[in-house]
Amino acid sequence: MAQSNIRPASGKLGILTVGLGAVSTTFITGVLMARKGLAKPVGSMTQTDRIRVSREGRTERLAYGDIVPLTPLSDIVFGAWDAYPANALQSALFAEVLKREDIMPVKDELEQIRPMTAAFDRDYARRIDGSNVKPGLTRWQMVEALREDIRNFRQENNLERVVVAWAASTEIYVERDPAVHDTPEALEAAMKADDRVRIAPSMCYAWAALLEGCPFIMGAPNTTVDIPAMWTMAERMRVPIAGKDFKTGQTLVKSGFAPILRTRCLGLDGWFSTNILGNRDGLVLDEPANFHTKEVSKLSTLETILDGEENPELYGDYFHKVRINYYPPRGDAKESWDNIDIFGWMGYKMQVKINFLCRDSILAAPVLLDLCLLSDLAQRAGRWGIQRFLSFFLKAPMHDYLSGEQPVNDLYQQYAMLKNALREMGGYDADQPLD
C-alpha cells in the first residue's frame, strides 16, 4: 500500500441500520456468512473490484483494501432500530429473500441482533404499524433518545467507530423550506419546537448521528441530508454524509444505458419505466405521498446525462415517466420494464426494450456494505460533508444545488470519481479525468 494520511482501521466498526427489514437482514446475513467462508460477497466493489493504480512509474491492478485501509468484515458489529420487535433471524426468515439454508449457519449471531425502539411517526409511513417505537416523543426528544442509543451501542460493544445507515422505508416528501432547512441553527430550533411537518423522523436520526460524530448514509430518496443545514453540520462535526437512495435495479440500468445514447449521438423521444414490487418497500410506496418521494429521485437520473440545453436537437423535448406498482405475489423479486423510444439517422424511429428481473435486497446488500465501509474510510481520511465519490452507489447523488452544481448521474463518470478518490486517498496518481 502506498503512503497516505488515513488513520488505520483499528478496533471494531459498528454499523447501525435504521430498519431491520429485507435489505438490512440480507446485508447482515451475507456479511456473517462471508466472514465464515460460507458465501461470497458478489456485487460488493470493496470486496471484489480491482482498479489500476500508478505511482512512480509503476502500474498495477489492486483490490480496494490493498489501496486504502478498509475495515475487515471480521471487525464489523451490527445493530439496528426498527418499528417491529423481531430480531434479525426472525426478520430474515420473514423477508423470504434468502433461503433458510443460507440463514441458519449464522442463526446464533442473527438472534443476538435485536432492534432498538424506533423514532417513528406514522404520518410519514402510513402503511407501517409497528409496536417497537419510542412513544410520545417530540422531535428533539427523538434526537436525544437516538443519541443515547448510539452511545450505548458504542460502549456495550467496545467500538472505535460507528456508521449509521438508513435502510428503512421511504418517507413522504418533505419540501425544502429555507427558513428551516438551510442552517443548523434553524433546523435545530424547528426540532426543539417539535415541527412535525418540516422535520421528518429521518432527520432526527441524521442529526443524532452527526452530533455523535458518526457518518450517515441515506439509503432512501428522503430529503433528509439533502438540505444545506445538514451539509454545514456535517462539515462542522467533521463527519461524512452520503445519499440518496440505493441505486440497485432500474436506475442502475438507466444510468448505464443512457450514456450509450449520448455517446452515440442518438436522439430520445421518450423513456417509460415501470416496476412491480411486493415487499414492505413496495407496500409503503403504494401510498401516493411516499411514492412521490421516490418518483423525484428516479426522474432526476436522465436530466444530467441527456442534457437538453447542451444538445436540444437530440434531448430537448423527451417524455420521461416512472411508475412503481405494489404486487404482493413477487415479494422481493422486483421486475422492471423500460420502453425507450429513440431516433437515429434522418430522424428514423427505433425502440429499445429492457426487462430486468432482479432481487431488490440482493442488489442493495452489497451497496450498503460498500457505502458503510467507504464512509468510514472517508472519515478516517479527513473527508467530511457530502461524499460525491460515493455517487456510484446512489440513485439521486447529493450535490450543492444552491451553487448551481449539477449531480453526476452517468454511471461511468461516477465510477471514475470513485476510482480517483481511492487513488488519491491511497497516495496514487489520479489517471481518469471526468469528461
Whether residue 197 is predicted with pLDDT greater than 70 in this model: the reply is yes
Whether residue 1 is predicted with pLDDT greater than 50 in this model: the reply is no
**Shared domain check, 183 and 331:** no
**Shared domain check, 202 and 68:** yes
Domains: count for the chain: 2
**Nearest C-alpha neighbor of 422 from the set 142, 52, 9, 33:** 52
**Shared domain check, 368 and 278:** no
Task: Give me 428's grid cell.
Answer: 496514487
Crossing angle between the packed helical segments 22-35 and 360-380, to the nearest 10 degrees:
70
Domain boundary among the residues 333, 357, 381 is at 357
Q: Is residue 434 part of a domain?
A: no
The CATH number linked to 67 is 3.40.50.720
Structural domain that includes position 259:
250-357
**Shared domain check, 165 and 260:** no
Q: Is residue 104 part of a domain?
A: yes
The residues that bridge with 416 in the sheet, in sequence order, are none
Q: Could you give the CA distance from residue 167 to residue 96 in angstroms, rounded to a whole number? A: 17
Domain boundary among the residues 316, 335, 357 is at 357
Residues 6+ away with beta carbon under 8 Å from 90: none
423 phi/psi in degrees, rounded to 5 = -60, -45
Q: Share the mean pLDDT of the chain.
A: 94
Fill in the DSSP letter of residue 104. G
**Shared domain check, 261 and 133:** no
pLDDT digit string, tens, across residues 121-152: 999 998 888 999 999 999 999 999 999 999 99
Residue located via cell numbers 415487499: 279
Domain boundary among the residues 357, 390, 407 is at 357
Q: Is residue 433 part of a domain?
A: no
**Shared domain check, 238 and 263:** no
Q: Could you give the CA distance from residue 284 to residue 123 in angstroms, rounded to a whole number? A: 12
**Shared domain check, 282 and 143:** no
* In the chain, % of residues over pLDDT 90: 85
**Shared domain check, 20 and 129:** yes
**Shared domain check, 330 and 342:** yes
Q: Is residue 139 part of a domain?
A: yes
Work out the average pLDDT over 178-182: 98
How many whole angstroms from its chain centre is CA 86?
23
pLDDT digit string, tens, across residues 315-351: 999 999 999 899 999 888 889 999 999 999 999 999 9
**Shared domain check, 298 and 156:** no
**Shared domain check, 365 and 353:** no
The answer to whether the beta carbons of residues 170 and 221 sit under 8 Å apart is yes
Distances (CA, A) of 26 to 49, 100, 127, 171, 318: 21, 12, 22, 22, 38
Q: Could you give the CA distance from residue 241 to residue 394 in angstroms, rounded to a whole number? A: 12
